[in-house]
Amino acid sequence: MATGGGWAPARSVERHGAPRGGGTRSKSVAPGLRRPSPSPARSRAATDNGGSADSCRVRVAVRLRPNNSEDLAHGSDFDSCVELQPESKRLKLKKNNWSCESYKFDEVFSENASQKRVYEVVAKPVVESVLEGYNGTVMAYGQTGTGKTYTVGRLGKDDPSERGIMVRALEHILSSMSFETDRVAISYLQIHLQRSSRIKEEKSSLSNDMHDIFPDDLPLVLKSKLLIVDLAGSERIDKSGSEGHMIEEAKFINLSLTSLGKCINALAENSPHIPTRDSKLTRIFRDSFGGTARTSLVVTIGPSSRHYSETSSTIMFGQRAMKVVNTIKLKEEVDYKILYKKMEREVDQLTSEMERQQKLIKSEKMQLDKKLKESEGSFHDLRMTSNIRIENLEKEKCELESTVKTLMRDLEEERGQKNMLSEQIAELEKLLDENKQQQQLENLSRTKVLTDTTKEHEKKMEELLRQLQEERHCSSSLKDRMSILQQELCDAQSSTQLQESMARELEKKLTEVTEEFTCQVQSLKEKISELISEKEVIYKELKSTQEKVQQEMWQRQGLEDQILRLKQSTSDNFAEESKTSDCMVRTGSGLGNATFVSKSGKIREALSGQRGTISKIFEEVGLPNVLALLKSEDLDVQIHAVKVVANLAAEDINQEKIVEEGGLDALLSLLETSENTTIYRVTAGAVANLAMNGSNQGVIMNKGGARLLANVASKTEDPQTLRMVAGAIANLCGNEKLHLMLKQDGGIKALLGMVRSGHADVIPQIARGIANFAKCESRVISQGHRKGRSLLIEDGVLTWMVANSTRFSASTRRHIELAFCHLAQNEDNTCDIIASGGIKELLRISRESPRDDARNLAKKALDSNPAFLREVQ
């Protein structure tokens, strides 16, 4: 990045701790120097290649101006007191011929160094860092005439090579930015740069919650600023040659430079306090030194030994600045507008995806329906055809059975006929035998006839036998056919069985398909409901993000307006501050009957004007926002916020509201935690004002207000703070219900303890408080609600009253006298009053007091108390 060797910023590997090396910075650096960035901006520690947080030392170069005509004119009297050793980056400063000191810098520019080289070594790394999103500062420091403006502000109109850092930096920035996505604004002194970026890996630095809320490519805006500063001359006033009006201005400038020097010293020495508030200049440089910016400093010197001391102090300034270490941080914010648009786009996409899925599911369902119908139809057809076939086969079987029956019957008849014929044959044979025997006997002649007849019969028999044979043949073929038919019947029966099992299988398959289809429909329905609920969640998220963005925008707007107004009113209020504090506490003109006392009509006018301004601010800004400022990290803002609250608390109408909105809690926590006297004073004043309201008094006590006020009283000697604290306690004394708690919390002790101040503003408040207490206590005791000696006695109030009643102003004396007379009304106090020598006081009051009520109370006590009467006698 840098051209000069060794100028490249030294980066520490530690993540958040103090940087290594000579420039460690203590943890207790003033809060202003390490303020957290405002929400919702996030500061991300800059990453180097390794991705670690950056500690970056302030880089310092020294530049030597060539001899000018003045130097040349004095040439012979004054030699050059400076010798440069650019190779070792060292500078030798010669005090005289015998002693010289050597100093090492980050870079050493001789009188011949070109403006280009100075830019590239000193400013270019800073500008590049600013373009990456870090704040940066380039600054020149040195005696008048040594070349600060030449280095930083030279325009180089005639000779471009002469252009200084400012022009070159602008050129660099404008050539590196995109006019569509980046914005640059320029003001005198500072250059306020913004770049759009979508860095995915940045997301890894977010918390898990943020990961869930924000999408992967979170739109981020980088907002960095470049400060290029040409300071005033660092020489003593007498050398600056300023006169008259100029000398006053020079003094201020010198003061600012001194403040800057003090801050640099403090940072270089790791001092716990950095006085950045001392001047506007150091406030501007808060981020440049010890802050989050990358900073380069050019210290310019002249060669002449006439200016030895200025040159030496300039060099020392540079040396100290080299020890300052900054922790550079990326200045980026989330771009919610882009984020919102992106999420809206995503919702649109999801919606269309869901619609597409629904359509797909519908068409799938229709297809499955169709398939189911088709399967049902084919199953029905199959059933019908198999039924018809079974019927046909049954019929065929019946026919075959009847045919077989007929054939059997025929066969049976044939058999009967055959048997008959056989019987006939046997009879005929028998007859033949008989005839034979007869004929043999009777007639051999007939033998021939008989033989013929026999032959005929044999022929007939042969015929019958042949017929029988045929019939038998026919019967066996019928039998074969029957067995074939029986076989066919068997086959038909088995095919019917097969078809039935097929039908059963088809039925089973159909059931499965139906079930599967039902499951698919079910899962698709679930998917739809899931998508709907997802959509609802995204809508909710989007809505809450929108609301959040809106709220943050309002909050931010409100706070910015508030700060602006507070700043405007600051200058007005500042002049009135002392007057205001006079009026913070009500002082009593009568006991408990409180009214505002203004020292003059003028103050009253000023006050009412100021009140007007404050109530206007209040109306516009709103109480919650004013109260929020009580917790501001900026002490100035905090002080002004307390002043506003104190003024508001002076109005009866606001007192309860402030407590309701948490204002009292904030004030009490300031009393507890703050170390600042102004905060104590104004906060105690505000609490005093709130304590004027009867219903607030109990709340203040319950929240430990008395204890906190007593604590403040013990810590400070500032009479105005003590006056506020005493006023607050005095107001609480006017509530008899709180007396015991007030005493237990040390309120009475603290009130009496503040007499050590002896201040004319404090004592009347103490006296008023005591009188309030005594009067209320006496009333409670006379009504019989309480018994026993006064709670004031134990803490020494009675003794103090007797000893000091005549020492103070008339009004204070009157309070003390009345308080004393009220104590004298309680018989349980008799012994203590006598022991403290109070009888004398009682007599004096009964005779001399200018007030009728005090005189009467004293007389009443003396007359009604026998112990007093005895003492008087």
Distances (CA, A) of 705 to 500, 528, 664, 700: 98, 61, 9, 5
Least separation in angstroms between CB 65 and ligand ADP: 4
How many residues bind Mg ion, per CB under 5 A? 2
Q: Which lies closer to ligand ADP via its Cβ, residue 117 or residue 397?
A: 117
Report if residue 746 touches ligand ADP, rule: CB under 6 A: no
Report if residue 148 touches ligand ADP, rule: CB under 6 A: yes
Partner whose footprint covers residue 150, from ligand ADP, Mg ion, none (CB < 5 to 8 Å by kind): ligand ADP
CB 234 within 8 A of CB 314: yes
Of the candidates 740, 857, 838, the one whose C-alpha atom is nearest the C-alpha of residue 798 is 838
Report if residue 144 touches ligand ADP, rule: CB under 6 A: yes
Least separation in angstroms between CB 233 and ligand ADP: 6
Distances (CA, A) of 676 to 338, 420, 672, 680, 686: 44, 155, 11, 6, 15
Q: Which lies closer to ligand ADP via its Cβ, residue 147 or residue 705?
A: 147
CA–CA separation, 640 and 622 (whole Å): 15
Binder among 4, 145, 291, 727 for ligand ADP (CB under 6 A): 145
Helix axes 635-649, 446-582, angle to 10 degrees: 80
Least separation in angstroms between CB 86 and ligand ADP: 14
Distances (CA, A) of 301 to 109, 234, 454: 10, 11, 178
CB 238 within 8 A of CB 148: no
Q: Which lies closer to ligand ADP via its Cβ, residue 153 or residue 275?
A: 153
Q: Which lies closer to ligand ADP via its Cβ, residue 146 or residue 610?
A: 146
Q: Which lies closer to Mg ion via its Cβ, residue 236 or residue 599?
A: 236
Distances (CA, A) of 80 to 92, 160, 212: 11, 30, 67
3-class DSSP assignment, residue 214? coil
Q: Which lies closer to ligand ADP via its Cβ, residue 232 or residue 393?
A: 232
Binder among 9, 19, 32, 142 for ligand ADP (CB under 6 A): 142
Least separation in angstroms between CB 150 and ligand ADP: 3
Of all residues in the shown chain, the one whose CB is closest to ligand ADP is: 147
The stretch near ligand ADP (CB under 6 A) out of 64-72, 389-397, 425-433, 700-708 is: 64-72
Q: Helices (DSSP H) in 583-634: which residue ranges?
A: 601-621, 623-629
HSE of 557 in the Cβ direction (CA atoms, 13 Å)? Answer: 7
Report if residue 149 touches Mg ion, rule: CB under 5 A: yes
CA–CA separation, 36 and 43 (whole Å): 8
Of the candidates 590, 581, 701, the one whose C-alpha atom is nearest the C-alpha of residue 650 is 581
CA–CA separation, 763 and 761 (whole Å): 6
Report if residue 499 touches Mg ion, rule: CB under 5 A: no
Least separation in angstroms between CB 277 and ligand ADP: 28
Q: Which lies closer to ligand ADP via its Cβ, residue 57 or residue 65?
A: 65
Q: Which lies closer to ligand ADP via its Cβ, residue 147 or residue 318?
A: 147
> Helices (H), strands (E): how many in the chain?
31, 15
Least separation in angstroms between CB 68 and ligand ADP: 6
Q: How far is CA 582 from the centre of its chain?
A: 42
Of the candidates 235, 250, 224, 229, the one whose C-alpha atom is nearest the C-alpha of residue 298 is 229
CA–CA separation, 137 and 114 (whole Å): 21
The helix or strand, by DSSP H or E, that contains position 300, with its residue range, turns out to be: strand 294-301
Least separation in angstroms between CB 151 and ligand ADP: 7
The helix or strand, by DSSP H or E, that contains position 82, with its residue range, turns out to be: strand 82-85
Q: Which lies closer to Mg ion via its Cβ, residue 149 or residue 545?
A: 149
The stretch near ligand ADP (CB under 6 A) out of 146-154, 332-340, 491-499, 746-754 is: 146-154
The stretch near ligand ADP (CB under 6 A) out of 65-73, 661-669, 739-747, 787-795 is: 65-73
Partner whose footprint covers residue 545, from Mg ion, ligand ADP, none (CB < 5 to 8 Å by kind): none
10 Å CB burial of residue 52 (0-12, 13-18, 19+) is middle
Helix axes 705-715, 677-690, angle to 10 degrees: 140
Partner whose footprint covers residue 812, from ligand ADP, Mg ion, none (CB < 5 to 8 Å by kind): none
Q: Which lies closer to ligand ADP via its Cβ, residue 51 or residue 75?
A: 75
Least separation in angstroms between CB 259 and ligand ADP: 20
The stretch near ligand ADP (CB under 6 A) out of 144-152, 435-443, 610-618, 790-798 is: 144-152
Report if residue 133 touches ligand ADP, rule: CB under 6 A: no
Binder among 32, 133, 147, 746 for ligand ADP (CB under 6 A): 147
**Per-residue interface string for the shown chain with ligand ADP, residues 219-238, x marking contact by CB under 6 A:** --------------x-----
Query: Which residues make Cβ contacts (< 8 Å) with residue 419, sequence separation at least 6?
Result: none
Q: Which lies closer to ligand ADP via its Cβ, residue 162 or residue 661?
A: 162
Least separation in angstroms between CB 676 and ligand ADP: 40
3-class DSSP assignment, residue 306? helix
Q: Which lies closer to ligand ADP via its Cβ, residue 144 or residue 417?
A: 144
CA–CA separation, 625 and 174 (whole Å): 40
10 Å CB burial of residue 91 (0-12, 13-18, 19+) is buried
Report if residue 66 touches ligand ADP, rule: CB under 6 A: yes
Q: Which lies closer to ligand ADP via its Cβ, residue 218 or residue 299?
A: 299
Tokens standing for residue 567: 């700043």
Report if residue 150 touches ligand ADP, rule: CB under 6 A: yes
The stretch near ligand ADP (CB under 6 A) out of 138-146, 455-463, 624-632, 746-754 is: 138-146
CB 59 within 8 A of CB 11: no
CA–CA separation, 60 and 138 (whole Å): 10
Q: How many CB atoms lie within 10 A of CB 505?
A: 10
Q: Which lies closer to ligand ADP via its Cβ, residue 65 or residue 294?
A: 65
CA–CA separation, 228 and 165 (whole Å): 8
Radius of gyration of the CA atoms of the chain, in A: 59
Of all residues in the shown chain, the one whose CB is closest to Mg ion is: 149
Report if residue 753 touches ligand ADP, rule: CB under 6 A: no
Report if residue 65 touches ligand ADP, rule: CB under 6 A: yes
Helix axes 245-268, 308-321, angle to 10 degrees: 40
CB 293 within 8 A of CB 182: no
Least separation in angstroms between CB 90 and ligand ADP: 19
Q: How far is CA 677 from the centre of its chain?
A: 33
Q: Which lies closer to ligand ADP via its Cβ, residue 110 or residue 856?
A: 110
Least separation in angstroms between CB 145 and ligand ADP: 5
The stretch near ligand ADP (CB under 6 A) out of 141-149, 200-208, 738-746, 817-825 is: 141-149
Partner whose footprint covers residue 194, from ligand ADP, Mg ion, none (CB < 5 to 8 Å by kind): none
**Per-residue interface string for the shown chain with Mg ion, residues 375-414, x marking contact by CB under 5 A:** ----------------------------------------
What letter would DSSP give residue 746? T
> Within 454-513, which residues bind ligand ADP (CB under 6 A)?
none
Report if residue 68 touches Mg ion, rule: CB under 5 A: no
Q: Which lies closer to Mg ion via its Cβ, residue 42 or residue 148?
A: 148
The stretch near ligand ADP (CB under 6 A) out of 63-71, 506-514, 725-733, 788-796 is: 63-71
**Would you tell me which residues interact with ligand ADP (CB under 6 A)?**
65-66, 68, 142, 144-150, 233, 300
Residues in the site for Mg ion, rule: CB under 5 A?
Answer: 148-149
